[in-house]
Structures are given as structure tokens and as C-alpha cells.
Chains A and B, each alone.
Chain A
């Protein structure tokens, strides 16, 4: 209906306003507007205005109005708790808190019995209903129940507005239905409670209050539609009647709250029947709703899952890419010492490290053949042993690019060059100074094992490279066009031979290294002056060659001098012309004991013998004259004079003089 649609729109607007505003004044106004509007159960369910108004129940100023509004709307809804109470009303004052099922049984019986006592029933139900209303208001009602009640109330309204005849007819039919569907009623009641629980659970599962509301409203609409369909199936004529009545009722104004009350005093049996049907419809619709919800959830979840999967796959792909990059760039052995650093650095290291094999594959796949050859060329030297001339392979890539290198950095280059060179020189001296200084300051400590050298300060990569190069000058052959200036710190530490070799391989250095040669000249050939038109290098070479020649000459002469001398072991005679002399102590003893053996020199033995014989002859003549000692002395006298010590000689002379005087 158009008017109902308008009302719905208005209510929706008001609802939005309510939810938006915070001022109590506006809230009051809106609530008043709402109270004026004709609000039916349908509209309540569609818009959910009841909920919003209910939320203002505890408002400072508008709370009372909100409460009254809510109360009024609640009365529209035929509640579940009302129906058994209504049934009790049939049972002439049975207390409200009887067992529902007993009630239903008894109600059915009574219904069957009391066909015509509609009016009385109505009256009683009226009374009961008033009390029921109160109970209704008191009992906490969940929103779906509320709306169910709304539906029931609506139907009661409709029923009340019917003529008694129609009602009776309906009753009769409804009673029949009731009788046949007793068990169903029971089941419905049970199921409804279960279903409501299920509803609750479902709502909880949804986790969103907004969705709950939406679903609640949608459920109700669905329920209503389902109940409509159910009723259609059950009793087409009745439902048609019901529907027409319902339609007529929805158009009624809201001012009939009291009218509603009157309407509520309708046939309770019909209410009950309608309730039953509603409940059935509800249950089935709820079941359907659940199914739908589940199915909805499933596609939703699937879609969400798909989207999640997509995101995850994207993430994974990204990760894989990084991972693959990291795989490609696994750290070499030298990285492991740095792996204590944090993760980021680790990853960066992983990324920045080089796993050349996989990258080689990549490059091979991607690149042109020329590049491949260069790549392979570069890589082959790394595998080759150190002794080979590695550096000359650098000729290939570098010279083409070096001008660029210079162009880009010429300004800084020249500025820093001098600094670097100077700093290099300084570094060496400073390092030594620092180290000695450290040693002086600290107590001398003794460690065993090799001391790991630590740098006093962080050296730049440039300096590190220079140090390494200086340590390995012998490996330096071709430099591939490295400018002399930047390599100078290394070349300063070369020996002349090394310098010569490097110059040989890298002719570009020839003219530039002269000052180095000058240093060498001054060191090696002191005192020589530089000839005119001669570079230090030439001078050095000249002097060096001179020295070499000199050395050679000398060696030759020495060699030759040595060559004439007999080689090998030689035997020489100590007493060639003289008699072998006994050692002194032996000789003294010989004189004492007179055991001096006749001199028997080896070589002139024959002559010696003659002399001996002559001597013996003389000695024999002398023997009788002299004692043996004298003979011994005589024997010795002709050959040698007994060497008398000088002091002894003086004393002997003195004795002789004394003897001569006596």
C-alpha cells in the first residue's frame, strides 16, 4: 500500500535522525512524531524502529515517551506467552503458571467443547488479556519474539474485527486443525524454543549486531512470507480471508491502541491456531533461514576465503620472490661471521649476498652471448689459482667503462685523491704510533696463540682494499687500467723488482712512477747523482746494472782464486828437518832418570847413526871419568847446551867464581 510505504519511509527517516542526534530535544520531537504515526507490526518489523526507540528507554527526558511508545507497540505484537495465558483464560481462571503442554491439551479439549461460547470467552479473555498485557510488558522479549507477537497481535486484531460468524467458522476450522495438529503444536512449542535458541546461536555466530537486526527483520519478513505460504497451503480460503483482513488492518491508524486492546479480546482459539501456524511457519522459515544463512555464510566465507587465498597467494608470491631472491643470494662463507646481526640485516645480507650459480643460470638465459663470455671470463679467474695472472682479465670489462667512472666522480675524485694518499701515508705512521702508544699505556700482557688484529678505527672499503693489495703485491700483474693515482699507495710499497714487473705489464704507469724510482735510487745507491736527461728510473737501472756487473766480476775472481787451491783433505808434516821434540814434562823426567832415548831422528837416520856411534865412543871414553849423569850431560853437551834458566845461570856463575877463588 502506498500509504504504508510512505509511513515506512518516514519512519526510516526518523530512525536515522534518532540514531544521529544526541540532543534530547530532537529525540523528544522524533518520538512524538513516531507516536502520531500509524505504526503496524509490519512497519515495526521492516524498519526496526522499535529497537531504536527502545534504546532511548533510559534517556533522561525522552525515556518516558520512548517507554510508552515501546509499550504501545508491544501490544500490537501477539506474544507467545500471551497465547497460553489466553488459553488459561478459556479454562476459567486457571493460574498462569501451569504447564504449557497441559494447557494446550486442556485448551484443545475445551475448544472442542466450547464452540459457541465465543462471547464469554471474549469477555474472559479480555480480562485475562489486560493482565496478560501487563505480563507481556514485564516479560523480557527478544526482538524476534516481539515481532512474532506483533504478528499474532495483528492477527488477533484481524480476528477481532471479523464478524462473529466468520470467527466461528474460522474457529471451527481452526479447531479441527488444532485437533489434528495437537502434536504438531507441542512440537512447535518445543521447536520454537529450540528454534529460538538456534536463532540466538545463529545470531551469535554472526557476530555483528547490525547484521542481527537486519537478519531479524529479514527473518521476520521471511517468516511472514513463509507463514503466508504455509497458511496458503493449509487453508487457502482461510488464508485468503486472513490476508484480506490483514491488509485491511494494516491500513488502520495507530490511534487504536485501545482498539487493539479490544481486538485482543478476540477469539483466543483462533489466536492460538494462528499462533500455531505462525509458529510452524516460523519454525520452518527459521529452519530455512538457518539453511540460507549457512549457505550464505558458505559463499561469503568461500569468497572471503578466496580473497584471503588470493591475498595470501600474493603475499606468498611476494615472499617467494623475496625468498627466491634470498635463495639466490645466499651468503657466502664470509658472511657467517656477520650473521649475528638482526634479522633485517640478515635478510639484507641474504639479498645482497651472491649465490652466483643460480644467478649464472639467469644471466645465461637472459643475456646475449657477448655478455655471457665476459661473465664466464670473469668467473673463470675466480676459480683459477692465485698464481695465475688473474688481473689481466679485468681488461675486458673495465676499460670501456672507466671514462664514465672518471667523468662521474672527477670532482670528488681529485679532491679526495690527495687526501686519501696523504691519509694513507698518515695511516701507516699513525697506526704505528697508536700501537706503540697503546703499548706504552697498557701493561704488557702475554697471550698465547695468534693475536687477531683489530682495527683501531673502522677502515673504509677503499682502505681495506688497499691493505689487501699491499699484502699481495706479488699477485698483481695487470691492473686493467686502474689509474696510477689511486693505486699509488700500493705501488709505494713495491720493491724495485715488483715495480718493474708491474710497469712491464701496465705500460701506462711507466712515465708516472718516476718519483718512486727516485726513492729507490736514494735508498739503494746513496751518494750517486742523477745524470742529466736521465730519469730516476733510468738512473736506477744504470746503477743497478753497474752494481751487478761489479758483483759478477768479483765473484769471478774469487772463484778463480779458489779454483787453483788443492781441494780435499791434505796431510802435512810438522817436524821435517828436526827431530821430534818430546813434550816438556816428558823431557824433564827423561833428564832426571836418564831415560832420554838416543836421538833417532827419522829422516837422516844414517847420518844420525854415525854421529851416534861417534858420540858413544867419546862418551865411553869419558864415562870412566864422569858419572853417568855427566855422561848423560856429556852426551847432551855436544848437541845442545842445556838451557839454563837465566837466574840459574847467574847463580851458577857466582858459585863458579866462588869456587875459583877458593
Chain B
């Protein structure tokens, strides 16, 4: 891809945003994928000017990395299967992290 420079999450219209977990792992995902989450959408493009909108970074102090990674996985899954006529498989969730993921999903509204 030619957007090597655009991978930096700089500028208001950058392609990617950075999600930071509670244990300081940084997940760089496509902006449009992250906007699946209502909360992230509100943070990045809400009526008020949040800090996150400028830096394109969101820190989640209550979501650990093993959960946030699964959330990012879900973004991909959603993007892949939305408007797809093929059979949509289940999104696998392992029971160990289900509860945490559930809390995160509730928070992120996705």
C-alpha cells in the first residue's frame, strides 16, 4: 500500500486511528472500522471538540489489551460481512473473555 505515511494517525482525515488499551497497547485500526462503535464515533467526530479528534488517539483505561484486540477483530468481522450476501458465520468468542468483552461491547456500543 502506498499510504505508508498515512498510517500515522495525524490530521483530522487520517485513515487510521489509534486505540490504546489500559495496559498501553496501541491498536491502529482504520477509522471507518472504528466508527462501527458508537462511542468511538462520538469521541472522534462528536459535536464537541474532543482531544481525541485532534490526535486520533483514544485511550481506554478500563479495557485491557486482550479485550481490545478482540474488539478490533470484531470491527473487521463486521466490515467484512456487512452487506455480504454470503452466509455470515458466528463471531467466535471464547468464554474466558466473554464477560470482559461483553462489558467493553456495552461501553463501546458495538
A480 adjacent to chain B (CB < 8 Å): yes
Q: A454-B88, A469-B99 are in contact. Are A367 and B76 (CB under 8 A)?
A: no
Return the chain B residue nearest A356 by Cβ.
Answer: B66
Within the complex, the shortest CB–CB distance from A196 to chain B, in Å, comes to: 45
Q: A348-B30, A401-B61, A466-B102 are in contact. Are A472 and B95 (CB under 8 A)?
A: yes
How many pairs of A and B residues are in contact by the CB < 8 Å rule?
Answer: 164
A461 adjacent to chain B (CB < 8 Å): yes
A404 adjacent to chain B (CB < 8 Å): yes
Which of chain A's residues 470-499 have a Cβ closer than 8 Å to chain B?
Answer: 472, 475-476, 479-480, 482, 486-487
Prevailing SS type, chain A contact patch = helix
Return the chain A residue nearest B37 by Cβ.
Answer: A461
Q: Are A338 and B69 in contact (CB under 8 A)?
A: no
Q: A359-B25, A454-B87 are in contact. Are A381 and B105 (CB under 8 A)?
A: no
A533 adjacent to chain B (CB < 8 Å): no
A625 adjacent to chain B (CB < 8 Å): no
Q: Are B103 and A452 in contact (CB under 8 A)?
A: no
Q: Are B101 and A382 in contact (CB under 8 A)?
A: no
Assembly CA distance A512 to B110 (angstroms): 26
Which of chain A's residues 311-343 have a Cβ closer than 8 Å to chain B?
Answer: 315, 318-319, 322, 325, 329, 334-335, 337-338, 341, 343
Number of interface residues of B (CB under 8 A): 54
Q: Are B28 and A338 in contact (CB under 8 A)?
A: no
Contact partner of B109 among A337, A341, A343, A412, CB < 8 A? A412
Which of chain A's residues 549-600 have a Cβ closer than 8 Å to chain B?
Answer: none
Which residues of chain B have C-beta atoms less than 8 A from A322's C-beta?
Answer: 4, 7
Q: Are B95 and A468 in contact (CB under 8 A)?
A: yes
Within the complex, the shortest CB–CB distance from A349 to chain B, in Å, comes to: 5
B97 adjacent to chain A (CB < 8 Å): yes
Which residues of chain A have C-beta atoms less than 8 A from B109's C-beta?
Answer: 409, 412, 416, 462
Within the complex, the shortest CB–CB distance from A319 to chain B, in Å, comes to: 7
Say which size band chain A's interface belongs to. 35 or more
Within the complex, the shortest CB–CB distance from B80 to chain A, in Å, comes to: 5
Q: Are B64 and A482 in contact (CB under 8 A)?
A: no
Assembly CA distance A611 to B106 (angstroms): 102
Assembly CA distance A482 to B104 (angstroms): 11
A162 adjacent to chain B (CB < 8 Å): no
B13 adjacent to chain A (CB < 8 Å): no
A194 adjacent to chain B (CB < 8 Å): no
Q: A468-B93, A482-B103 are in contact. Are A461 and B110 (CB under 8 A)?
A: yes
Within the complex, the shortest CB–CB distance from A369 to chain B, in Å, comes to: 13
Assembly CA distance A409 to B102 (angstroms): 15
B54 adjacent to chain A (CB < 8 Å): no
Q: A398-B62, A408-B107, A462-B102 are in contact. Are A382 and B89 (CB under 8 A)?
A: no
Which residues of chain B have C-beta atoms less than 8 A from A466's C-beta?
Answer: 102
Q: Are A349 and B76 in contact (CB under 8 A)?
A: yes
Which residues of chain A have C-beta atoms less than 8 A from B23's C-beta?
Answer: 363, 367, 371, 374-375
Q: Are B1 and A344 in contact (CB under 8 A)?
A: yes
Return the chain B residue nearest A321 by Cβ.
Answer: B7
Within the complex, the shortest CB–CB distance from A40 to chain B, in Å, comes to: 54
B92 adjacent to chain A (CB < 8 Å): yes
Which residues of chain B have C-beta atoms less than 8 A from A344's C-beta?
Answer: 1, 30
Which residues of chain A have C-beta atoms less than 8 A from B29's C-beta?
Answer: 348, 351-352
Assembly CA distance A216 to B52 (angstroms): 59
Q: Mark A235-250, 1 if CB is under 8 A from B, else 0.
A: 0000000000000000
Q: Mark B53-70, 1 if CB is under 8 A from A, else 0.
A: 000000001101110010
Return the chain B residue nearest A372 by Cβ.
Answer: B23
Segment of A136-144, A164-172, A386-394 in the binding face = A386-394
Q: Are A378 and B76 in contact (CB under 8 A)?
A: no
Q: Are A465 and B95 in contact (CB under 8 A)?
A: no
Which B residues fall within an 8 A CB radius of A? 1, 4, 7, 22-25, 27-30, 33, 38-39, 61-62, 64-66, 69, 71-82, 87-93, 95-103, 105-110
> Would you mind naming 15 contact pairs between A and B with Cβ atoms under 8 Å apart?
A335-B73, A349-B73, A352-B28, A353-B69, A356-B66, A363-B24, A375-B23, A398-B100, A401-B22, A404-B62, A461-B108, A461-B110, A468-B93, A482-B102, A482-B103
